[in-house]
Structure 1
Amino acid sequence: MTRVFIYGSCMTRDSEPWFKNFGFEMVGYVARQSLASAFRKADGSEYNLSKIQSSFQRRMTKGDIEGNLRFEIQRSEPDVVFWDICDERLGVKKSHSGGFITHSRDHVAEGVHPGPFGPVLKFGGDDHYALWERGLTEMLTSLDRYGLANKLYLNATPWAVVDEFGRDHNEQTAAAESFNSAAERYLDLAWRKGVNVIAIPQATAISRSEGHQWGPAPFHYVDSTYLRMLEALGEAVAKG
């Protein structure tokens, strides 16, 4: 089995039920932690994480505040890291202590932090991109220390512009096209820095409007899309 660490979002994590079909095993997962904040630790004493009901959301929020990505990767001892940038859509903001945090709803839930926060640096903006580029350099340096420099695979599956019925549900097309456009320079930068970028055609990225466990969204796909992204990963890993 190839040990896979997932960094990113449910976009990639939801492919895990088919991992065994491709000889993969998930050994770790970090979500809701922007690469722009992962190496910019905030002060955890400012937060009251007991206000977050979900244990998963509480754990991911704590990890984002602490910037634990590199340590989770090292602890998991993966063979490859499978990464997506879906949660970058949330943006980042400066914490009162001076670090950065991902702008997820868990950080701003009532009672979690009294504030104030700096303005949100939005995905696609120059300030966000500059922080993200620094984070990418730092992540690649960390992976090099762990012997994983060439084992980072970026899941560049585009957001779906239509659902399984060919419909634009919930104005999905506009949101998907906006994200896909903003993502282009991030994906290009990763490729130029030597990251293995795994892309599947837009036509094979189809969202599920009915029956997906998390509901309809342009990054909640039909089964065939998850299978196609894993086929692409398997082919890339086999090439070395």
Structure 2
Amino acid sequence: MKFRVYGGCVSRDIFNFNDSDDLKVVGYNARSSLATLSPDNVAKKISDKNYEALSFIESDFQRRMVESDFNNSILESISNNNYDILLIDLMVDRFNLGVLEDKLITVSTSFALSKIKPESFIKTHSEQFLSEWYKGVENFLSVIDKTVGREKIKLNKIYWADRATDEKHTVEINKRWDVAKNNNKLNVLYSFLEKRLPATSIIEVSKELFIANPNHQWGLAPFHYTDDYYTTMVEILKND
């Protein structure tokens, strides 16, 4: 089964735990919020000078992801019928939005490496963010409907972990991140999106699996889980 992943490392890392040829990733789009995908925003362009500034980003992958955010290439990627399942998650929507040359972009950690300064920002927990996100989702689904069909979508319904594998890192998690606030926001986003997807599109595991792993390859974070989460997801995807 061929997968395109649109989301964060949470969904992409699942496939690192797959030891068979049953699951194959044919494309990965990351660090670009659904809130940037409204028709009006997609029609706007970023100038060459700002694309050139991305040369400050040393990682080829991170640079490509910011370029993809600038040109909203996810809409072209999902229209290419070379996959069986589009696995999405909403972890990227933790980032603020920036206004750059009148166009909304995702102020991801990768974008920050470019040293580009947006003219203004839209905070991720603001009503304005939600308004833009709703418009982006509607256009995203419209493009899907016109091309491959939304039945190909699988929503990886994940939450921020409020505990780690030990007490020390549990304290650190809750000190560094506002887990409850971010999970409350996720519930708002899920409520909107789930009403627009078939029930079979939702993948929801036990919240007992959302445990932060201090030894995760990407470091400690509320969305870097222990291996049990990823191995569970592999089995779900294999048997779906």
TM-score bracket for this pair, using the shorter chain length: 0.7 to 0.9
Q: Which residue of 2 aligns with 1:208?
A: 213
CA-to-aligned-CA distance 1:59-94 (integer Å, 9 cap, x gap): 001000011001122346211111111111112121
Query: How much has 1:55 moved relative to structure 2?
Result: 0.6
Counterpart for residue 61 of structure 2 = 56
Q: Which moved more, 1:28-37 or 1:120-129?
A: 120-129
- Secondary structure of 2:173's counterpart equals helix
Q: Which range is displaced more, 160-169 or 9-18?
A: 160-169
**What's the Cα RMSD here?**
2.1
Alpha-carbon contact 2:81-2:148 (below 8 Å) kept = no
Unmatched 5+ stretches in structure 2? none
- Residue 92 (1) aligns with residue 97 (2): yes
| Residue 171 of structure 1: how far off its partner (Å) | 3.1
1:15 to 2:14 alignment: yes
Shift of 1:132: 0.7
Name stretches of at least 5 consecutive residues in structure 1 with no aligned partner. none
- Residue identity opposite 2:28 in structure 1: Y
Take 1:219 and 1:5, find their aligned partners in 2: how far apart are those partners? 20
The answer on whether the counterparts of 2:29 and 2:74 sit within 8 Å (CA) in structure 1 is yes
Match of 1:37 in 2: 36
Greater CA drift, 86-95 or 72-81: 72-81
- Aligned partner (choices 165, 179, 184) of residue 181 of structure 1: 184
Partner of 1:117: 119
**What's the counterpart of residue 193 of structure 1?**
196
Deviations along 1:151-189, whole A, 9 cap, x unmatched? 111111211111123551423375322211111110010
SS across alignment from 1:29: strand
TM-score, normalised with respect to structure 2: 0.87
Counterpart of 1:168?
170
**Letter aligned with residue 179 of structure 1:** N
Quote the offset at 1:20 in angstroms: 4.8
Contact kept in structure 2, 1:124 and 1:183, CA below 8 Å: no
Alignment partners' CA distance in 2, 1:224 and 1:94:
39
Normalising by structure 1, we get a TM-score of: 0.87
- Percent of aligned positions with the same letter in both sequences? 25
